[in-house]
Chains A and B, each alone.
Chain A
């Protein structure tokens, strides 16, 4: 393996960085900074649940295995959706996204797997600025599944699709022997149109931009955690926030708001989205803890289990990065819509320190917000 000085994270780059600095502490810190720029490597021999949790391990699996082997100019963008050019058409591209849904339990307060499967895929299109054209639905069913239950799920999909104004246009069904799947898995793929060049793109994020969040954090993840029953907590007023966001995103874009980037904050929570933004755009993101909307019940669950709402999953919330002078209008517009009544300005984009997210605590201190390492596990210490 050959190393060049220019290759970030290479041994030569680290040595070069070290040589420039006399202060030994600073030297160590610069070495770490260089090491962090290395492409992540997949160390594990087997898939663990962490690889599906949306945090660092998922990110490593995606880039170091899928991204590496399947690498091509479209995939390498690693967006929520891919944009395909149509031969001979300059102004419009086709946006494609796909997502699989494996939630347990299938039904939970505020929603079910069918509704998630429709809304989740619509949201992945919406945050790229695309207009949904239609979605597909593929089902993997476990032998013995109650058909009445399947019917309820599909009816729920129908309602969600009707609300969102899209058709489920094609599908597929496979049945696997009992025990080879957990009741029911759904994959949905969404296709939409997007104006070219895309207005919403990572490279448009710039220092000075303002970061907005469309509503309170953690409702979905906390609801499902409680519905699973493992932690023995009850909260009467806790509901999943599953919701289609394309109405909100199209309203923002139609109003002429200079939206630089959007992403829906699903697994891994808002913290993970902010880290993805900071790393992919090579900027810093600073947020203010006091500005973060969180419902009391989610705060309660988080305090009891020792987890941070910033890392809890959402299914109807997006993070938007907008040009600074458009932020007030963006906030006003979000709040005027049912999807965004609790929207807030949560922070801003800064040039330095590159790739980092930090939070100004309500207490007057500052801390770094790292990517989720694995699942947000309850802790006792």
Chain B
């Protein structure tokens, strides 16, 4: 078993989609996938096509790139421009716009910005360039933070002094809470973040069921995982249950990874508050380095401007993130706010709810029209090809959706 293709089976998907359709009834369901990775899977595999139209997936706040406020990105870019700095970050971040441009623009303007695959690569660059100051711009939820922690512990153990971390690690529970506290919330349940849960386990999500009465299913990242998660939420509600369930048992233990939690607490502490793009300030929602690691803290070592750039007033990302508004209902959607010139977090990454809708919305509508038109229109099209149509069927791989 390779733990990938097995969970991408089209026939099982159809059966499951049909079952969801049968069991979802007339009710309009709104289920939020918290994690941007799930959003990616949903678009990559076209999962919404397999769900009935009354089951709506709401794309949540779990994209660590999208939630970075502009001001903090500006701070990072300012550090990148400091003399002698090699600025490292994950590829995801390179194109995200700050208030005066992206890291790619900073690179074009002469900053030494390098993309890394792992924080350990930043450490390696620091070892190879002892006369330079290497900054790692850390982003990510609890999944990614242990990697930064272990990298810092190793830097300290090996006496490497020219690596600095600009810490933007965030935690998943506070933004979920912020969304749940919203008075106009209209969600029926949550697909919990599978990879965060490999670290924190599934118990931290119990407040969602206990305090807010919404079911949570922690799911994996293959398309069948997501469909099964949707089905499990609907089943819970039908059966009058409200629990945290674990669909992703193949990698998630109920208690998470104790070693990862231990290194997290050794290296990080909670920030008193952190600003989230689209959601505003949320208390205790992010991590900063423990005092023991102050010498490695880019925010302490470098003087960063720290200028807060307010989310544009017209932007209604917060409402979209909470599932209150659909992307197209936002005042600036498609006019001032487009993928080329994003204003809000939902348009920043291609996985954001608004960017996805901008790109795919018209198509899905157009396709519905096509479905209706198809039979009549196509039967009398291409008529002239019939006469000499000596095409053996086996010569051609059929192009259609599911002819296998």
Contact = CB atoms under 8 A, between A and B. Distances in A.
Q: Considering residues A32, A43, A46, A345, which has the most beta carbons from chain B within 10 angstroms of its beta carbon?
A: A32
Interface string B355-377: 00011111101110010000000
Nearest to B141: A381
Interface in A275-310: 286-288, 290-291, 303, 305
A377 B91 contact: yes
Interface stretch (B77-85, B315-323, B387-395): B387-395
Interface stretch (A75-83, A102-110, A367-375): A367-375
B361 A29 contact: yes
A286 B48 CA distance: 18
B49 A345 contact: no
B335 A381 contact: no
A335 B224 CA distance: 35
B46 A361 contact: yes
Given A381-B63, A381-B92, A332 B395 contact: yes
Given A232-B117, A353-B366, A325 B391 contact: yes
B13 A364 contact: yes
A278 to B, nearest CB: 12
B363 A360 contact: no
A331 interface: yes
B370 A352 contact: yes
B95 interface: yes
B254 interface: no
Contacts of A356: 363
B265 interface: no
A24 B105 CA distance: 37
Contact of A29 (B46, B144, B339, B365): B365
A15 interface: no
A353 B395 CA distance: 28
A102 B117 CA distance: 24
Nearest to A379: B92
Nearest to B358: A32
Contacts of A346: 399
Q: Considering residues B46, B109, B326, B367, which has the most beta carbons from chain A within 10 angstroms of its beta carbon?
A: B46
Given A345-B396, A363-B46, A380 B140 contact: yes
Interface residues on A, range: 35 or more
Nearest to A50: B104
B386 to A, nearest CB: 10
Interface in B330-374: 333-335, 338-341, 350, 358-363, 365-367, 370
A182 to B, nearest CB: 15
Contacts of A32: 334, 338, 358, 361-362
A43 B95 contact: no
Contact of A46 (B64, B65, B109): B109
A67 to B, nearest CB: 18
Contacts of A360: 46, 400-402
Interface string A342-369: 0011111000110010101111111110
Nearest to B114: A230
Interface in A1-59: 24-26, 28-33, 35, 43-50
B95 A377 contact: yes
Nearest to B401: A360
B1 to A, nearest CB: 16
A361 B359 contact: no
Contacts of A328: 391-392, 395-396
B274 interface: no
A373 B46 contact: no
A247 interface: no
A347 B47 CA distance: 21
A328 B58 CA distance: 44
A348 B46 CA distance: 19
Contact of A347 (B8, B118, B339, B399): B399
B117 A362 contact: no
Interface string A299-335: 0000101000000000000000000110110011000
Contact of B45 (A30, A47, A363): A363
A65 interface: no
Contact of B359 (A28, A305, A370): A370
Given A33-B362, A361-B44, A331 B92 contact: no
The 7 closest A-B pairs by CB, nearest first: A365-B46, A377-B91, A328-B395, A365-B49, A353-B366, A363-B45, A28-B328
Given A352-B366, A363-B8, A367-B45, 19 more contacts: A32-B338, A46-B109, A48-B104, A48-B105, A288-B401, A290-B404, A328-B392, A348-B399, A358-B363, A360-B46, A363-B46, A364-B17, A365-B48, A368-B363, A370-B359, A373-B350, A378-B117, A380-B90, A380-B91
27 contacts: A24-B328, A25-B328, A29-B361, A29-B362, A32-B362, A46-B105, A48-B104, A49-B108, A230-B114, A232-B117, A232-B121, A290-B404, A291-B397, A327-B391, A331-B395, A345-B396, A353-B367, A360-B402, A363-B8, A363-B47, A363-B223, A368-B360, A368-B363, A370-B350, A377-B115, A378-B90, A381-B65
Interface of A: 24-26, 28-33, 35, 43-50, 207-208, 210, 230-232, 286-288, 290-291, 303, 305, 324-325, 327-328, 331-332, 344-348, 352-353, 356, 358, 360-368, 370, 373-374, 377-381
